[in-house]
Amino acid sequence: MSRAGRSQEEIRRRNLGELLRHVHLAGPVSRSELADRMGLNRSTIMALTAELSAAGLVSEQLPGDTGRAGRPSLVVRPERDRVHVLAFDVRVDRLVAARVALGGEILDRREAPRSRSGADLEDVVDVLSGFGRELRRGARPGSVCVGVGAAYCGMIRPADGTVRYGPYIGWVDQAFGIELGARLGLPVLVGNEAHLGALAERDRGVGRGFDNLIYLHGDVGVGGGIIVGGKLLDGDGGYGCELGHMMVNPYDGRPCMCGSRGCLEAEVGEHALIEAAGRAGELSGREGVRAVVEAAEAGDAAAAEALRRVGDWLGIGVANLINLFNPGMVIFGGMLRDVYPGSAAQVRRRVEANAMVISREQVRLRVSALGDDVTLIGAAELAFSRLLASPLEVLAEMRRRGAHRAAHRKRAAAL
């Protein structure tokens, strides 16, 4: 194929992906609006939507009464019942799985508790692969699974989904993506939970419209995702934005699992809050954090002081990040979504005292709009990423895989 031919094919593939991305993220969109967003003429949009419709990725319908004269522009919708992904969220104390439709709707889900007893790769893969098989059996006949994505609470090697380091549980160089993919018979993409949370909030949450934002995710520790110029800042090996290990209290700081002292996550994480409230040994996990927050709201002085103390260290960390990156928004998710409202005054005081005026004057401090599903939604978007980059090719590949698995099962049943 000539260079010109390849170029035209690349342009077509990119335009198909971009159109599908608009429909996937925004929901039903008219042809005329797609033409405006993509800077293409209507005949090109019509040709692109025809290809995607023939493949079963979108459908076109007449809009309701627009109240306008003239021929209305057809509305393009994602085919939610015909295309889906599997999304997994591996948290410190919980495993979550979901089947998610093109368009982003969670169609079905499963959850199970996770023990904090140590390295548990085999147990995690057993539970998640079982959930995956259940979720696929519940899909509409003919629906195609076009990807699998997983969020993990640790440092991930993007190339193969290996967990290089998973604090609090003890995972070191665990081949999570490969093992899960082998059980499911599908390729699995794995991402750091906070990185995926940042992307989810940018695309579907409170960060929509912001090209520069910071997402802070609290679990037992604290993770982070930074988006600069619309792109995730992930570092040379994919291990960037470990915001929880930013030093905030180097002299008399609490010990951190990373081996240092006074890291942000050591000063504001689950253990710090619960111990400051005088409830160590009584409470743990997300329920323990919420119990402290609720006690503070009810007038418990120790719980209120714990929130103030955590808010002070959190504010120092946020002020540093504002000075470094000048974000338009800082978003608090996970456990920090519960903590921030009760410590917001202290966070803001620290920001006003320690962040430069010109950097802080436009920044918005917000809690996650996607709630407890933020990292699960991020995993789903990771799973959709291959389809959105090359819709027709990836759909054809996944259909071939499905047909191969069906034929293999049929032969096995006949033996």
Tokens 């520069």 belong to: 212
CB atoms within 10 A of CB 336: 23
Joined together, the tokens standing for residue 104 give 């982003």
Tens of pLDDT, residue by residue over 289-323, are: 999 999 999 999 999 999 999 999 999 999 999 99
Tens of pLDDT, residue by residue over 6-28, are: 688 899 999 999 999 999 999 99
Joined together, the tokens standing for residue 210 give 């912001």
Q: Who contacts 269 (Cβ-Cβ below 8 Å, separation ≥6)?
A: 218, 219, 220, 221, 222, 244, 335
CA atoms of 167 and 86, how far apart (whole Å): 25
Cβ 223 vs Cβ 153: under 8 Å: yes
pLDDT at 170: 78
Joined together, the tokens standing for residue 147 give 């990807």
pLDDT at 8: 87
pLDDT at 210: 96
Q: Is 287's pLDDT higher than 90? A: no
Q: Is 1's pLDDT higher than 70? A: no
CA atoms of 34 and 29, how far apart (whole Å): 7
CA atoms of 97 and 174, how far apart (whole Å): 20
Tens of pLDDT, residue by residue over 357-385, are: 999 999 999 999 999 999 999 999 999 99
Look at residue 91 and give its three-state secondary structure.
Answer: coil
Mean pLDDT (the chain, rounded):
92
Cβ 45 vs Cβ 78: under 8 Å: no
Look at residue 398 and give its three-state secondary structure.
Answer: helix
CA atoms of 304 and 293, how far apart (whole Å): 8
Q: Is 3's pLDDT higher than 70? A: no
Q: Who contacts 40 (Cβ-Cβ below 8 Å, separation ≥6)?
A: 15, 34, 48
pLDDT at 4: 55
- Antiparallel, parallel or unpaired: β 222-228 and 231-232: antiparallel
Instruction: Read off the pLDDT of each residue in 253-258 and give the average, rounded to a whole number.
Output: 90
Tens of pLDDT, residue by residue over 99-129, are: 999 999 999 999 999 887 777 899 999 999 9
Joined together, the tokens standing for residue 304 give 């209120």
CA atoms of 363 and 278, how far apart (whole Å): 34
User: What is the CA 318 to chain-centroid distance, rounded?
Assistant: 21
Q: Is 66's pLDDT higher than 70? A: no
Output 145 or 408, whichever has higher pLDDT: 145
CA atoms of 311 and 248, how far apart (whole Å): 12
Residue-wise burial string across 199-226, b where 16 or more C-beta atoms lie within 10 A, e elsewhere: bbbbbbbbbeebebbbbbbbbbbbbbbb
CA atoms of 315 and 179, how far apart (whole Å): 40
Least confident of 18-32, 60-74, 197-211: 60-74
Please count the helices (runs of H) and the strands (runs of E) in the chain: 14, 16
pLDDT at 115: 82
Where do the DSSP E strands lie in 234-363?
Answer: 329-334
Least confident of 205-214, 256-265, 317-326: 256-265
Query: What is the phi/psi pair of residue 396, to 5°?
Result: -65, -40
Tens of pLDDT, residue by residue over 147-157, are: 999 999 889 99
User: What is the percentage of the chain residues whose pLDDT exceeds 90?
Assistant: 78
Tens of pLDDT, residue by residue over 322-363, are: 999 999 999 999 999 999 999 999 999 999 999 999 999 999
pLDDT at 341: 95
CA atoms of 409 and 308, how far apart (whole Å): 59
CB atoms within 10 A of CB 25: 17
Model pTM above 0.75: yes
Domains of the chain as residue ranges with CATH: 3-61+74-78 (1.10.10), 83-195+374-414 (3.30.420.40), 206-369 (3.30.420.40)
What secondary structure letter does DSSP report for 415? Answer: -
Joined together, the tokens standing for residue 39 give 């800077």
CA atoms of 118 and 143, how far apart (whole Å): 37
